[in-house]
Amino acid sequence: MPIGRLVRAGLVGGIGVIFVSLVGLMARISEINLIGTQVTGAYAFLALVPFAAAYISVRPRVVAGRLEELTAGRSVSFGAVTGLAAGGLVAASLLFTSWYGVERIREVFIEVTQELIDVLSFGQSAIVGASILVLGGLLLGAAGGGFRTLAPEARKVLATAISATLLMGLLQRIIPIAMLQLGLDPDWMYDPISSGLTWVGAAVTFFVALGAAWLWARRGRAARETLRTMTREQPGTRVVVGLVMIAILATIPWLVGSVISEVLGAVMVFMLLGLGLNIVVGYAGLLDLGYVAFFGFGAYATALLTGATLNTTTGSAAPALSLHLNFYVALPIVVLLAAGVGLLIGAPVLRLRGDYLAIVTLGLGEIVSILIGSNWLKPLVGGPQGMRNITDASIAGFSFRDPQHFYYLSLAFVLLAAFVSLRLSGSRIGRAWNAMREDEQVADAMGISTTRYKLLAFAIGGAVGSLGGALLAVRIGSLTPASFVILVSITALAVVILGGMGSIPGVIVGALVLIGLPGLLREFEEYRLLIYGAALISIMILRPQGLIPNVRRSRELHEEDRSQDKWAGDLAADEDTAASLSPLGEGSG
Partner 1 sequence: MAPLLEIVGVQKQFGGLSALAGLDLHVDEGEIVSVIGPNGAGKSTLFNVITGLYAPDGGDVIFRGESIVGLRPHLVAKLGIARTFQNVHLFPNMTVLENAMVGQHCRSKSGVVGSVLRLPSTRREEERIRVRATEALNFFGSRLSGYRQEQPAFSLSYANRRRLEMARAMATDPSLLLLDEPTAGMNPRETLELRDHIVRMRDELGLTVLVIEHDMRVVKGVSDRVIACDYGQKIGEGSYDEVAHNDRVIEAYLGTKAVG
- Compute the distance between CA of residue 502 and CA of residue 421 in angstroms, rounded to an integer: 9
Does 272 bind partner 1 (CB under 8 A)? Our answer is no
Burial of 131 (0-12, 13-18, 19+ CB in 10 A): middle
User: Is residue 424 a contact residue for partner 1 (CB under 8 A)?
Assistant: yes
Q: Would you say 244 or 442 has its CB closer to partner 1?
A: 442
The contact pattern for partner 1, residues 536-555, with x = CB under 8 A and - = no contact, is ----------------xx-x
- Please identify, using beta-carbon distances, which residue of 314 and 588 lies nearer to partner 1: 588
Q: Quote the least distance from Cβ 572 to partner 1, whole Å.
A: 11
CB atoms < 10 A from the CB of 326, how many? 13
434 touches partner 1 by CB under 8 A:
yes
DSSP 33-62: EEETTTEEHHHHHHHHHHHHHHHHHTS-EE
For 161, residues 6+ apart whose C-beta sits below 8 A from its C-beta are 206, 207, 209, 210, 213
Contact residue for partner 1 among 19, 219, 566, 568 (CB under 8 A): 566
* SS3 of 337-377: HHHHHHHHHHHHHCCCCHHHHHHHHHHHHHHHHHHHHCCCC
Contact between 31 and partner 1 per CB under 8 A: no
Find the binding residues for partner 1 in span 444-463 (CB under 8 A).
444-451, 456, 460
Q: Which one-letter amino acid corresponds to residue 501? A: M
Chain-centroid distance, C-alpha 22: 25
Distances (CA, A) of 346 to 73, 341, 343, 452: 60, 8, 5, 10
Contact with partner 1 (CB under 8 A) among 427, 482, 522, 568: 427
- The torsion defined by the Cα of 54, 58, 59 and 61, in degrees rounded to 10, comes to 150
The reply to whether 431 sits near partner 1 by the rule CB under 8 A is yes
Asked whether 358 and 287 are in contact (CB, 8 A), the reply is yes
Q: Are 85 and 79 in contact (CB under 8 A)?
A: no
If one asks whether residue 561 binds partner 1 (CB under 8 A), the answer comes out as no
With CB under 8 A as the rule, give the number of residues binding partner 1.
47
Q: How far is the CB of 322 from partner 1 (least distance, A)?
A: 31
Q: Which lies closer to partner 1 via its Cβ, residue 394 or residue 434?
A: 434
Residues 374-403 that bind partner 1 (CB under 8 A): none
- Which C-beta is closer to partner 1: that of 315 or that of 589? 589
Pick 131 or 450: Cβ nearer partner 1: 450
Rule CB under 8 A: say whether 585 interacts with partner 1: no
Shortest approach of partner 1 to residue 239 CB, angstroms? Answer: 17
- Residue 488 CA to residue 95 CA, distance in Å, equals 43
Applying CB under 8 A, which residues contact partner 1?
A: 419-420, 423-424, 427-432, 434-435, 438-439, 441-451, 456, 460, 552-553, 555-556, 559, 562-563, 566, 570, 573-574, 577-578, 581, 583-584, 586-589
